[in-house]
A and B are shown apart, each in its own frame.
Chain A
Amino acid sequence: MDYSQFLFMREELSLLAVILIIFIADLFMSKEPRDGKPAQGSSIGIVACILLGIHTLANLVPFCEDMKIEQTAFGGMYVHTAMMTIVKSVLNVGTLVVFLMANGWLQRAENRVKQGEFYIITLFTVLGMYFMISSGHFLMFFIGLELASVPLAALIAFDKWRYESAEAGAKFILLALFSSALLLYGVSLIYGITGTLYFGQIGAILTGLSDNLLLAVLGLTLFIAGMGFKISLVPFHLWTADTYEGAPTVVTGYLSVVSKGSAAFVLMTVLMKAFADTTLSSQWNIGLFWLIVASITIANIFAIQQKNLKRFMAFSAISQAGYLVLAVMGGTAQGMTALVYYLLVYMVADLGVFAILNVVEQKSGKICMDDYNGLYETNPKLAFLMTLCLFSLAGIPPFAGMFSKFFVFMAAFNAGYQWLVLIALVNTVISLYYYLLIVKAMYINKSDSPVPAFKSDAYTKIALVICIAGVVLAGIIGVAYNYIDTFAYGME
């Protein structure tokens, strides 16, 4: 065996090392104050943040010479391209922000004992996403997928003393298993036709396929449905609102960007590689077309009516997922850049909103739209930052969200989906309405009992600084998009 193959996996190995260190450190740190000394366990958060920060920086940019060549290891089970490193870096940054904002919540008495678990479980899902992204084989892909979703149920049910949290966890795990089963069924159909599970080989065999087309489409559909569950596209989105509402706010933030973003990227790479055949690709383009239309439109309609902000953000996330998948259309290199860039920009804005929701919930226990009335009077800075993030989500210039939407639209437009872009544009206007509802609540509406003024903890402040920097700078400084663009590749 050639051990140098492990070099390709340096991101995974580095993350595994981080997990192990946290795991061991957690074992030896006392959880409760003893002999008058404060509990060391509270510092596990710092350890986790620092280690993840180091890991992020160490693997921030691709190391390989040739930007677009695919490198394989372990007989093609594991593949690596420069773009994958970029996506993993984006996920790392997102996870880091989640860790930072989680600190306040984990310091609560009921969570203090198990805070190490939170970090380890979260990082294991990240590891699963890594494997999913870098897989060259359906089996590998499936293991990654499961590793990325089963621990998520534990995270969702983390506040298990809370009825909603436990319920949300149960709902999630049941539906996740259901979708995994369907996906696996689809994969088995593909295997039945082609006799292989390697993406590259499937692609080669399916090209020019004339018989068994129906079976291939059935397999493809089930694959898209399974991924649609992860990305939460309509009609596979029904778990989203209940789960998002029940899960701890920090976990909701994690679900809405990190886990979703990795799935969208994988959807794109697998479709491009295994289903690149012209007939099949026109099929999945049609399928995605309708999924996108349904996701963006229906989510918008639901979002307008939500009173609970976590539910509101769930529908916002479904609608944003529609825009994210818009970049998959056509499978172009431009689309890939747009997708990764969109993911980055959406992530900072969305996590910014969640950081504020979380800190407000921790300090006052309030999470409904009406509770935010008059926030500007009591916490003007938070209200202002929230406004920036919401503006970016809605795509108002000069914030990054406008640029990312622009690039996604341009990619879809150039791929030949002008009508889809038009529908998405109309929906952008609708989304503007409901994002601004929150802004209106914070600045204009009056409240008898507004959220009292408070000071955020240092961790949340750092998280917000990262998010706001992204929201403000990622768009204006065009280098980010150009940099990502150097690694992009498409179907032919």
Chain B
Amino acid sequence: MFTYTILILLLPFLSFLLLGLFGNKLSHKLAGLIGTFSLGVVFLLSCYTAYEYFVTVGRGASGVYEAFVPYNITWLPLGSLHFDMGILLDPISVIMLIVISTVSFMVHIYSFGYMHGERGFQRYYAFLSLFTMSMLGLVVATNIFQMYLFWELVGVSSYLLIGFYYTQKAAIAASKKAFIVTRFADMFFLIGILIFGYYTGSFSFSFVNELKLADGVAAFIPADASRAMAAGSFILPTALTLMFIGGAGKSAMFPLHIWLPDAMEGPTPVSALIHAATMVVAGVYQVARMFPMWIEYAPQAMSIIVWVGVLTAFYAAAVAMAQSDIKRVLAFSTISQIAFMMVALGVCLPGHETVLDNHAQLGYMAGMFHLFTHAMFKACLFLGAGCIIHAVHSNEMREMGGLRKYMPVTHFTFLFSCLAISGIPPFSGFFSKDEIITACFQYSPVVGWVMTGIAAMTAFYMFRLYYGIFWGTENKEAHAHHTPHEAPWTMTIPLIFLTFITMTCGWIVNFGSFISASGLDYPIHLDTKIAITSTVIAVVSICIATYIYKGEKQPVADKLQAAMPRLHQWAYKRFYLDEVYQYITHRIIFKHISKPIAWFDRHIIDGFFNFLAWGTHELGFQIRGFQSGAIQKYAFIFLLGALILMLIMIL
């Protein structure tokens, strides 16, 4: 059963090897075709897997979708603990397969047009394949260690792709920043994993899913009872929180979000794939994976997730309102939306209840649902932005304006995606966001209202962006000089496809029948009050944005900016958070910690090793007489050695 799923990992890997090793010998077209074709097959296989998993096999006797493990090999045995490699299929991993392969396939097609004629075209496709392989490996991991390995691979391929234009300083700086910040967070993830493995005796997700608080210490594997005791009490919340820090780094949660806006230096399709739809939701996926553990062993710690999420969502939305670079706006919007998913997972536990009832699982379902819908419309938005950048050769909004005349397809797909992210029915974003807000209200009205407010901000800044690009003041001078044109079909087809999914997937399928925390069928029913409230608020926000930004002249916007220059400046500069980091790292850590350590390293430690090397050299020089070449001497030393050996063994 499902043995073919290995191809889902192998095909992109082979394509990576082929393009990576022989890319220079292939023409651009052939290289692109190889990458795209293998991804196309992966896409079909993922769809087939999903069909077979959800429809043909369906629910088991107990009413839940059973997990399948078609492959699981012990990769590194360490006594009772072992690192495995394998493929795990359960509802969330299958849904993730769909998300990743769809977006990746679209991006592969899109890149044909976008990267046309670029230097390093083959390298680009090789990296895309590597990324896709890593990301797919991450989601189908059977254990947390495998997840971590692929997690790092994803980080590496993201680094390579952000720095794709390696001749530009900004791209190099951004790729390093992304790598270092996420790596810093990953360190906590690794510590969390090791603590988890040491105290519970397993890395496996099937073990995670079966752990029950009621079983007590007996649930854990280590022979050492005191270890198991510790695991049951305070160790597991600690380990989970450490893992969450790793997830927060990848998913750009405040205050580890600083790398994501800079990561926009990479090619735009890469931003769409990695920094909007797939890699950045790895943190959400990780929390969802460890969800049974959180619920059973660390319910209190889940409030950390909620508040980090709320803060991030608000902060990112506020910053997004003031940015002028369209990719930056989208980047902050991504941060904000991922925070929505995190909040949704965090609010799963309604205060005091420990038993999972229907209400408690709403957040889990809503988070994964939003992950799915967001991936589609945000990828569409980014790819749309790519078309626009392609047309006007700039990221700045002031170079745009009035583009609707020139690029009708991009215009409409962008508009629909904006409506989706703003939460206007019947677009998919409405459904998923609404579930999240409902879950928030169940958790606490404060969180509920705050998140509703942030949703309103979302609608506002997205339509500010929309009007800024397609309406508003047209930069006639620039456009006369270089008339914007619609993108080629390789770029518009993915837009249309993604928009189609965005328009339909909210109401065609009942997402709760695929994914729910308990595994049972969970019928989604809209809470009318909340649905109406949030829709009205979104519409009002859009109207305000229309009022302010649609016209040729924008008196209100200018007045607002003039009235609150300080606030605008702060938001534009992202509340100076990057500067704070700069200050902390350069002025405090580098100056007062790293420099003394470097001195110690250079003079004391290196000195010691230099001494050792010198000593070794001298010693070698002194004893080289042993190696004289005289055979009698060799035999003598042989005999002497045997005698000494005998003395050692007897004494």
Q: A478-B75, A479-B73 are in contact. Are A224 and B616 (CB under 8 A)?
A: no
Residues of B432-487 whose CB lies within 8 A of A: none
B619 proximity list for chain A (CB < 8 A): 301
Q: Mark B615-651, 1 if CB is under 8 A from A, else 0.
A: 0110111011011010101110111111011101110
A287 proximity list for chain B (CB < 8 A): 645, 648-649
Interchain CB contact under 8 A, B649 and A221: yes
Cβ of B509 within 8 Å of any chain A Cβ, yes or no, is no
Cβ of A178 within 8 Å of any chain B Cβ, yes or no, is yes
Interchain CB contact under 8 A, B78 and A410: yes
Interchain CB contact under 8 A, A178 and B646: no
Cβ of B117 within 8 Å of any chain A Cβ, yes or no, is no
Q: Mark A192-229, 1 if CB is under 8 A from B, else 0.
A: 00000000000000000000001001101110110001
Q: Mark B511-533, 1 if CB is under 8 A from A, else 0.
A: 00000000000000000000000
Bound together, the chains give a CA A236 to CA B642 distance in angstroms of 8
Interchain CB contact under 8 A, A304 and B616: yes
Interchain CB contact under 8 A, B634 and A175: yes
B639 proximity list for chain A (CB < 8 A): 182
Cβ of B103 within 8 Å of any chain A Cβ, yes or no, is no
Cβ of B80 within 8 Å of any chain A Cβ, yes or no, is no
A449 proximity list for chain B (CB < 8 A): none
- Least Cβ distance of B23 to chain A in Å? 16
Q: A214-B650, A290-B645 are in contact. Are A229 and B638 (CB under 8 A)?
A: yes
Cβ of A302 within 8 Å of any chain B Cβ, yes or no, is yes
A482 proximity list for chain B (CB < 8 A): 73-74, 77
Cβ of B85 within 8 Å of any chain A Cβ, yes or no, is yes
Interchain CB contact under 8 A, B649 and A284: yes
Interchain CB contact under 8 A, A304 and B637: no
B632 nearest in chain A by CB position: A174
B78 proximity list for chain A (CB < 8 A): 410
Pick the contact of B638 from A175, A286, A301, A430 — CB < 8 Å? A175
Q: A302-B620, A304-B620, A478-B76 are in contact. Are A218 and B646 (CB under 8 A)?
A: yes
Q: A302-B627, A304-B617 are in contact. Are A217 and B650 (CB under 8 A)?
A: yes
Q: Mark B139-175, 1 if CB is under 8 A from A, else 0.
A: 0000000000000000000000000000000000000
B634 nearest in chain A by CB position: A238
A234 proximity list for chain B (CB < 8 A): 641
Number of A-B residue pairs having CB atoms within 8 Å of each other in the complex = 92
A213 nearest in chain B by CB position: B650
Interchain CB contact under 8 A, A235 and B627: no
- Least Cβ distance of B575 to chain A in Å? 41
Pick the contact of B642 from A221, A283, A286, A300 — CB < 8 Å? A221
Bound together, the chains give a CA A221 to CA B85 distance in angstroms of 45
DSSP majority for the B interface? helix
A214 proximity list for chain B (CB < 8 A): 650
Q: A241-B627, A478-B74 are in contact. Are A182 and B649 (CB under 8 A)?
A: no
A174 proximity list for chain B (CB < 8 A): 631, 635
B76 nearest in chain A by CB position: A478
- Least Cβ distance of A10 to chain B in Å? 30
Pick the contact of A478 from B73, B621, B649 — CB < 8 Å? B73
A284 nearest in chain B by CB position: B649
- B: number of interface residues (CB 8 Å): 35
Interchain CB contact under 8 A, A179 and B638: yes
Interchain CB contact under 8 A, B620 and A225: no
B74 proximity list for chain A (CB < 8 A): 478, 482
Cβ of A305 within 8 Å of any chain B Cβ, yes or no, is yes
- A: number of interface residues (CB 8 Å): 43
DSSP majority for the A interface? helix
B85 proximity list for chain A (CB < 8 A): 478
Interchain CB contact under 8 A, A217 and B649: yes
Interchain CB contact under 8 A, A225 and B638: yes
Pick the contact of B635 from A178, A224, A300 — CB < 8 Å? A178
Bound together, the chains give a CA A5 to CA B76 distance in angstroms of 39
Max chain B C-beta neighbours (<10 A), residue from A236, A238, A305 = A238
B648 proximity list for chain A (CB < 8 A): 286-287, 290
A294 nearest in chain B by CB position: B641
Pick the contact of B637 from A179, A238, A284, A433 — CB < 8 Å? A238
A403 proximity list for chain B (CB < 8 A): 76
Cβ of A291 within 8 Å of any chain B Cβ, yes or no, is yes
Cβ of A242 within 8 Å of any chain B Cβ, yes or no, is yes
Bound together, the chains give a CA A410 to CA B75 distance in angstroms of 15
Residues of A431-460 whose CB lies within 8 A of B: 433
Q: A238-B626, A301-B620, A478-B75 are in contact. Are A221 and B634 (CB under 8 A)?
A: no
B634 proximity list for chain A (CB < 8 A): 171, 175, 238-239
Bound together, the chains give a CA A229 to CA B639 distance in angstroms of 11
B623 proximity list for chain A (CB < 8 A): 301
B76 proximity list for chain A (CB < 8 A): 403, 478
Q: Mark A287-324, 1 if CB is under 8 A from B, else 0.
A: 10011000000001110110000000000000000000
Q: A225-B638, A238-B634 are in contact. Are A286 and B627 (CB under 8 A)?
A: no
Bound together, the chains give a CA A463 to CA B78 distance in angstroms of 33
Bound together, the chains give a CA A175 to CA B79 distance in angstroms of 43
Interchain CB contact under 8 A, B617 and A221: no
A301 proximity list for chain B (CB < 8 A): 616, 619-620, 623
Pick the contact of A286 from B616, B629, B649 — CB < 8 Å? B649
- Least Cβ distance of B315 to chain A in Å? 39
Bound together, the chains give a CA A197 to CA B166 distance in angstroms of 70
Bound together, the chains give a CA A485 to CA B639 distance in angstroms of 37
- Least Cβ distance of A70 to chain B in Å? 25
A302 proximity list for chain B (CB < 8 A): 620, 624, 627
Bound together, the chains give a CA A304 to CA B79 distance in angstroms of 36
A218 proximity list for chain B (CB < 8 A): 646
B84 nearest in chain A by CB position: A478
Q: Mark B77-105, 1 if CB is under 8 A from A, else 0.
A: 11100000100000000000000000000
Q: A304-B620, A482-B77 are in contact. Are A225 and B641 (CB under 8 A)?
A: yes
B651 nearest in chain A by CB position: A286
Bound together, the chains give a CA A237 to CA B449 distance in angstroms of 79
Bound together, the chains give a CA A239 to CA B631 distance in angstroms of 8
Interchain CB contact under 8 A, A175 and B631: yes
- Least Cβ distance of A403 to chain B in Å? 8
Bound together, the chains give a CA A178 to CA B640 distance in angstroms of 13
- Least Cβ distance of A317 to chain B in Å? 15
Max chain A C-beta neighbours (<10 A), residue from B623, B624, B640, B649 = B649
- Least Cβ distance of B457 to chain A in Å? 46
B640 proximity list for chain A (CB < 8 A): 235
Max chain A C-beta neighbours (<10 A), residue from B74, B613, B626, B645 = B645
Bound together, the chains give a CA A302 to CA B629 distance in angstroms of 15
Q: A175-B631, A238-B626 are in contact. Are A305 and B649 (CB under 8 A)?
A: no
Q: Mark B53-65, 1 if CB is under 8 A from A, else 0.
A: 0000000000000
Bound together, the chains give a CA A104 to CA B448 distance in angstroms of 78
- Least Cβ distance of A160 to chain B in Å? 18
B626 nearest in chain A by CB position: A238
- Least Cβ distance of A401 to chain B in Å? 15
B644 proximity list for chain A (CB < 8 A): 235
Residues of B106-144 whose CB lies within 8 A of A: none
Bound together, the chains give a CA A134 to CA B255 distance in angstroms of 65
Bound together, the chains give a CA A224 to CA B619 distance in angstroms of 27
A305 proximity list for chain B (CB < 8 A): 617, 620-621, 624
Bound together, the chains give a CA A479 to CA B71 distance in angstroms of 13
Bound together, the chains give a CA A414 to CA B77 distance in angstroms of 13
B638 proximity list for chain A (CB < 8 A): 175, 178-179, 182, 225, 229, 235-236, 238
B635 proximity list for chain A (CB < 8 A): 174-175, 178
B77 nearest in chain A by CB position: A482
Max chain A C-beta neighbours (<10 A), residue from B74, B619, B641 = B641
The 3 tightest CB contacts between A and B, nearest first, are A235-B641, A478-B75, A238-B634
Given contacts A175-B638, A241-B627, A301-B623, 7 further A-B contacts (CB under 8 A): A236-B638, A236-B642, A238-B626, A283-B650, A304-B617, A305-B624, A403-B76
Selected A-B contacts with CB under 8 Å, 7 pairs: A182-B638, A217-B649, A225-B641, A235-B637, A287-B649, A291-B645, A414-B79
